Each structure stands twice: as structure tokens, then as C-alpha cells.
Amino acid sequence: MADRTLGVIGGSGLYELPGLADVEHVRVRTPFGDPSDEYVVGRLGATKLIFLPRHGRGHRLLPSELPFRANLWGMKHLGADAVLAVSAVGSLREEIVPGHVVVPDQFIDRTRGRTTESTFFGHGIVAHVQFADPFCPVLSKALAHGARAAGATVHEGGTYVCMEGPAFSTRAESHLYRSWGAAVIGMTNLQEAKLAREAELCFATLALATDYDCWHPQHDDVQIEDVLKVVATNVELARRTVVAMAPALPARTGCPCPNALAHAIITDRARIPEGVKRDLAPILGRYV
């Protein structure tokens, strides 16, 4: 199997992996501004790993402030062909106990005002990618296997509600999302998934359940101090999952990701502005 490059977006401590070699910190300038922080690049066996702290070191950025386009452009520029998003989420199902892991397969978008951060396109180029199944099924299967190997209780499949934040849900909203059949709720992954698909990156989410949001009558309403305690416990689980998953990344076959743009760009190639072609070169290079 050819060498693979896995991007990992999550907390700042994820790159502290045993066996991670040739580590360097890389600052990337993008046409969409600065990413959340420096990228940490290294190798774990034959797999190149690229880590990015989503909210910046010290957790400085709100979910609505995240430079999603810059973050994913930087991953593509540095050679990633797959991206793993590690995220804390609230559980909307009794069986998804805080401490469990979910590998979701669907999204519901409840964000507002993130339109420009949800696509690389516009400003003279139009593309419409297929997004019916927003997560890479092949990468998600490998992620679930890696999480189980790391000792996690894993729920495969389920809908991730992506809310605006930064406040948590109202009780009415929490019950509404449960009535829709959703599994977990978070604030970040939808934009990452859309941009990954446009960049022809395989994408999967390791959703770490930290609480029961505010719907569960036998549990306290979500409190940030409780979330942070569970997150701290799950950092080591996330590290073990990356270590288990990285050497066994599957071939990029059987998923829509590697050729997502093949029929998506509808703009006359002669009319695409040269500046747009230059800015999107890592993404559009083989098409324009």
C-alpha cells in the first residue's frame, strides 16, 4: 500500500504520540487567512501525520470564529489525503453514555452565518459537490476499528447536529433534536466535512461523548467544567485511536472522496479568474 498522509484536527495535545518521528512545526499562509495555529507534522511508521489544534493552542477561538477554509486548505497544501476530526459532543441518546465514542455518518446543519467558511468556491467559480453521505464510509470504518482497538465503546453511525454555539442548547432544542433521531450534538465538524469533500479529502469524525446535553432527567445539565474533565480523560483515548488507525489507513477506493470535483465544477474553465486558479491550486490543480 502506498504511503498515506492523515490530517488530524482536534485538541493541542493529540500530537504527543509515542513513536511519532521527524516532528516539525509548520506555519502555513493561505489565501483564506491564517489557520488556527501552526501544524505539527511527523511520521508514524509509513504514515505521515499532520496535526492542527482546532481552537488554537490555549483554546482561543470560538466555534464561529474558526478559520475553516484556511485549516483545510493548509491540510491539502501539506499533502493530506484524509482528515480525522476529533471532537467533544453531547449525547442525545440514552445508549451513548458519556465516555463512549460515536463515528457519525450524517449531519444536520443548525449553524448560522458560516456560509463563506463552508466552501472554497465563489468569486468567479461555481462547484456543487455531492454531499448526501458527508462522511467517508471507508475511513469511518477504519476509524471505528481503530477506536475499538484503543479500548473504546464505539457506536457506528448516527447523526451529528452541528449547532452555532457558543452557548449550549436550550432544553426545548435538545428534545427537538432527539425527536429528529439525532445521536450527538457539537459545534464544529460540518464545515470541516464540507470543505474536505470539496478538497477531495476523505473525512471521518471521532466524536467523544462528554455529557447528555440537557435533555436527560436523571443527569445534570451540561456544564463546561464537567465537559473538560471528560475531554481530559478522552485525550489519551484519542491518541491511542490515532496510533491504532494510522498504520492501517485503507486504500482510497469505494468512496466518493478522491474524485468529488470530477463533475462538480460547472463554470466555463476559460472564465475562471487567474487569481482564483492560483488560490485554489492545491484543490483544483488537476482540473483547471
Instruction: Tell me the per-residue pLDDT of 82-134, one tens digit each, with 9 for 90 and over.
Output: 999 999 999 999 999 999 999 999 999 999 989 889 999 999 999 999 999 99
In DSSP notation, 57-76 reads: TTT---GGG--HHHHHHHHH
- The single residue of 37, 105, 211, 279 carrying the catalytic annotation is 211
Identify the band that residue 61 occupies on the pLDDT scale cut at 50, 70 and 90. very high
- The single residue of 37, 81, 105, 213 carrying the catalytic annotation is 213
The residue behind cell 477531495 is 200
- Phi/psi for 150 (5° steps) reads -85, 0
Neighbours of 274 (CB within 10 A): 8
Q: What letter would DSSP give residue 267?
A: S
The residue behind cell 482497538 is 149
Residue 230 pLDDT exceeds 80: no
For 255-268, the pLDDT digits (tens) are: 999 999 999 999 99
Please give the pLDDT value at position 227: 67
Is 211 in the active site?
Answer: yes
Is domain 5-284 in CATH 3.40.50.12780, yes or no? no
Identify the band that residue 16 occupies on the pLDDT scale cut at 50, 70 and 90. confident
Please give the pLDDT value at position 1: 44
For 125-163, the pLDDT digits (tens) are: 999 999 999 999 999 999 999 999 999 999 999 999 999
- The CA distance from 122 to 198, in Å, is 13
- Give residue limits of the domains in the chain: 5-284
The residue behind cell 480523560 is 233
pTM of the predicted model as reported, rounded to 2 decimal places: 0.95
Please give the pLDDT value at position 220: 67
> CA dist 225 to 60, 228, 232, 249, Å?
17, 5, 11, 35
Please give the pLDDT value at position 223: 64
